[in-house]
Chain A
Amino acid sequence: MKLKALTAAAALLVAPGLALAGPDDDTLVINGETEMVTKTEAPAHMEETGISEIISGWHFRSDETQALEMDDFDNPGMVFVDIGMEQWETVEGSAEKSCASCHDAPEDSMTGVRAVYPKWNEEAEEVRTLAQQINACREDQMGAEPYGYTSGEMANMEALISLQSRGMPVDVAIDGPAQSTWEAGKELYYTRTGQLELSCANCHENNYGNMIRADHLSQGQINGFPVYRLKNAKLNTVHARFKGCVRDTRAETYSPGSPEFVALELYVASRGNGLSVEGPSVRN
């Protein structure tokens, strides 16, 4: 914000008359107290990409959009945390339990959870996303109907749980039993789909910082999910965003919750290992 004049000056220096490429240098502090890591050294597995620094999508947005995430009273996503809290305490299903029946207060039980998902589940012998774990809890422990994978209820619950890891570094495991899923996700990341033949990497690895029409391309980090988007005025889940992106390559999309998107989520999350958990974040 203070940097606005500086940014304008830099834009002139870089290329007169063109939009400024690249992320800005602002600092994200939430509520004047929680300083977030929004730029940091790329994890070791990204060495082959040539990217040395990973950057939160927050840096690619306008000062006005950035400001919305700096105060919980301004963050439109926080309303959904409150609704998520109501869901947390609501008794549902044949076991007549709520989330709170087993997990008490999310402030105590859910700290650090968001940061490590998707995660290998030993019992199920599969990598599970947070959404899948929430639904496994609902079905197996509560005897309740699962939430729709990208539904508002799911987004609310993810927002509530993500908030308990705010400021903690994303730290998903990519080795051991998770490795084959991670490899599958990586392959998908570089696959050029659809009639436009575009991969995730085309935009988010090779062109972040550049403008595509009126959009400022980011690294496509998912540390801020669920994301309140000004564009559709609601909380958005990771898989809904993936689906939108693949659709925009004029491809047949994968389904939210599909093995492909679970793998992709693990891989993309791992590219953000070290960035702070921001959910619910605000983007355009």
Chain B
Amino acid sequence: MRILTATCAAVLMTAVSAAADEVAPDDVTFGEYGAVETSLTGTEGDAENGAMVMKTKSMGNCISCHQVSALSDAPFHGEIGPMLDGAGDRWSEAELRGIVSNAKNTFPESMMPAYYKSSGFIRPGDGFTGKAGEEPLPPLLSAQQIEDVVAFLMTQKEE
């Protein structure tokens, strides 16, 4: 029940924000090297919320694969992808937006899931049910959550 309510709320929120200048997953323009220049929402990202998205298993779950010293209050950081300390030094905001949205446009062989993609999957499922899902699937993160994660990553500077 609580999940249902949360889902309804999420649907409403999506509908509201979609009414603004949100770019749908299929409409995102990636540059030649995978960067996305334009904000997906037009609303500035919230780094604090981005940190929460990255730590939360049911959201970005980024720390499953990446170590991030600034998020060390959450346990069990993985070692699949590169460490993200200093990501804001190494990448521009547009590059980070591109990598978080669909890293395969930047690194073709990347294992990283595309967080803002809704179609073109092999055997797309309905979440973690194991049953078939119908494309377009809801992207793994919302447009604003992507912006929030990018905002957090931009704060990751070592110098």
Instruction: Give A contacts to B, CB under 8 Å.
Output: 18-19, 21, 191-198, 202, 206-207, 210-214, 243, 246-253
Chain B contact surface mostly: loop
Q: Is B58 an interface residue (CB 8 A)?
A: no
Interface residues on B, range: 20 to 34
Is the Cβ of A194 less than 8 Å from the Cβ of B63?
no
CA distance A192 to B103 in the complex (A): 15
Q: Count A/B pairs, Cβ under 8 Å.
A: 84
The 3 closest A-B pairs by CB, nearest first: A247-B130, A252-B132, A214-B76
Is the Cβ of A246 less than 8 Å from the Cβ of B130?
yes
Instruction: Give B contacts to A, CB under 8 Å.
Output: 57, 61, 63-65, 67, 75-80, 104, 111, 113-114, 117, 121-133, 137, 140
Given the interface pairs A248-B128, A252-B132, the reply to whether A194 lies near B78 with Cβ below 8 Å is: no
User: Nearest chain B CB to A239's CB is how many angstroms away?
Assistant: 13
Is the Cβ of A212 less than 8 Å from the Cβ of B78?
yes
CA distance A195 to B120 in the complex (A): 9
Chain A contact surface mostly: loop
Beyond contacts A19-B79, A210-B79: 17 other A-B pairs, Cβ-Cβ < 8 A, are A191-B122, A194-B123, A195-B137, A207-B80, A207-B111, A210-B78, A211-B79, A212-B64, A213-B63, A213-B64, A214-B76, A243-B130, A247-B128, A250-B124, A251-B122, A251-B125, A252-B123
Is the Cβ of B64 less than 8 Å from the Cβ of A195?
no
CA distance A167 to B117 in the complex (A): 47
